[in-house]
Amino acid sequence: MIHRGSCHCGAVTLELADTPHEVCDCNCSVCRRLGALWSYHSPAKLRIEGERVGYQTGDKVLTFWHCPHCGCTTHWSPVDPAQDRMGVNMRLFSPDLLAGLRRYAYDGARA
Ligand SMILES: [Zn+2]
C-alpha cells in the first residue's frame, strides 16, 4: 500500500511504499523545535516531489528538509548516501494513519 502525504500548501508531496508501525517523538535540539513525529524507512521506499530546502545541524550527519513556501518539515535524509535510513514526518500524512501508530519518546537530548 502506498501512503501519501504533503506539506500544507501541497508543493511537496511524499509517497511512502512501506507500512509505518510507530512514530518517534524525539526531544533533541532540532526535533523538539520541529514538532515532527518520525517514522524510519529505506530511501528506496519514499518518493518525494517538489522544491525543498535543506538544513544541516553542526555535526552534518542529517539534512532536515522543508517546503520553501509553507515551511512544513517533510523528512530528513542521511548525508552519507551509504546509510539506508531516513526519517519521514508522519504528521504530514493522514490523521487516521497517524492515530493508529504507536508513539514512543526518544531522549535525543541525552543521546
Ligand atoms: Zn508547502
pLDDT tens digit sequence for 67-97: 999 999 999 999 998 999 999 999 999 999 9
Q: Which are the contacts of 27, defined by CB distance < 8 A and separation ≥ 6?
A: 105, 106, 107, 108, 109
To the question of pTM greater than 0.85 for the whole model, the response is yes
- The whole-number pLDDT of residue 20 equals 96
29: in domain: yes
Residue 74 Cα to ligand 1 middle (Å): 9
The reply to whether 10 falls in a domain is yes
Domain that holds residue 10: 3-106
| 3-state DSSP assignment of residue 88 | strand
Q: What is the pLDDT of residues 33-77, one digit of tens each?
A: 999 999 999 999 999 999 999 999 888 899 999 999 999 999 999
Using the mean position of ligand 1's atoms as its centre, give its distance from the Cα of residue 104 in Å: 27
Give 9 Cα–ligand 1 centroid separation in angstroms. 4
Q: Determine, yes or no, domain membership for 76.
A: yes
Is-contact 64 80, C-beta < 8 A?
no
What are the cell numbers at 67?
517546503
Q: Residue 95: exposed, middle, or buried by beta-carbon count in 10 A (0-12, 13-18, 19+)? A: exposed
Residue 111 lies in a domain: no
Instruction: CATH number of the domain at 41, please.
Output: 2.170.150.70
Residue 30 in any domain: the answer is yes
Q: What is the distance between the alpha carbons of residues 12 and 10, in angstroms, rounded to a whole number?
A: 5
Q: Give the chain's domain count.
A: 1
